[in-house]
Amino acid sequence: MRNRYRILLAVWALLLLGLIAWPVLRRREPVYQGKQVSVWLVQYAQNIGFLPGLPGPENPQLEKEAETAIGHIGTNAVPIYLRMIRSGESPLARVLMGHVPCVWLYRLGLGPRNSGLLGAMGLGLLGGGRKARRSSSNCAAAR
């Protein structure tokens, strides 16, 4: 009976330690006006019609706002952009892409993120590169 209490106490201590360490050890992204750099990149990409499956609102004000935010974040986001370029889609998203409408995937948070392309776009915006417009309603174009 005494061992059971020790094990329970050890489990609770590890859980508490994990909860304390989580905010310190998690990866963070640079933030501008309360939004992370990845959110600004998606806003920019959606406004220029770059994300397939989701028609962009083509709002020049939102596009300029995202461009300004990415510029203000500056070189602090380069490690994030490089990580985005190296990452790929989750296995679940890859399986679902051929069977589920793209809009549903985005609503579930599993849509083709094109994270590599978004990372490259961030580096391009940082370097003052010209924006590339791409519009596609086919979800398969994102693979």
pLDDT for residue 137: 41
Within its chain, how far is the Cα of 33 from the centroid? 17
pLDDT for residue 142: 46
Task: Please report which confidence band the pLDDT of residue 55 belongs to, taking 50, 70 and 90 as the band edges.
Answer: low
Average pLDDT over residues 67-88: 86
Q: Evaluate if residue 41 carries a pLDDT over 70.
A: yes
Q: Evaluate if residue 103 carries a pLDDT over 80.
A: no
Question: Please, are residues 125 and 70 in contact by the beta-carbon 8 Å criterion?
Answer: yes
pTM of the model: 0.60
- d(Cα 79, Cα 112) in Å, to the nearest integer? 21
- What residue spans of 37-77 are helical by DSSP H? 37-47, 60-73
pLDDT for residue 132: 45
% of the chain exceeding 70 in pLDDT: 67
* Angle in degrees, 0-180, between the axes of helices 37-47 and 78-86, rounded to the nearest 10: 70
- d(Cα 119, Cα 53) in Å, to the nearest integer? 19
Dihedral angle over CA of 116, 117, 121, 123, nearest 10: 30
pLDDT for residue 56: 60
User: Structural domain boundaries of the chain?
Assistant: 29-142
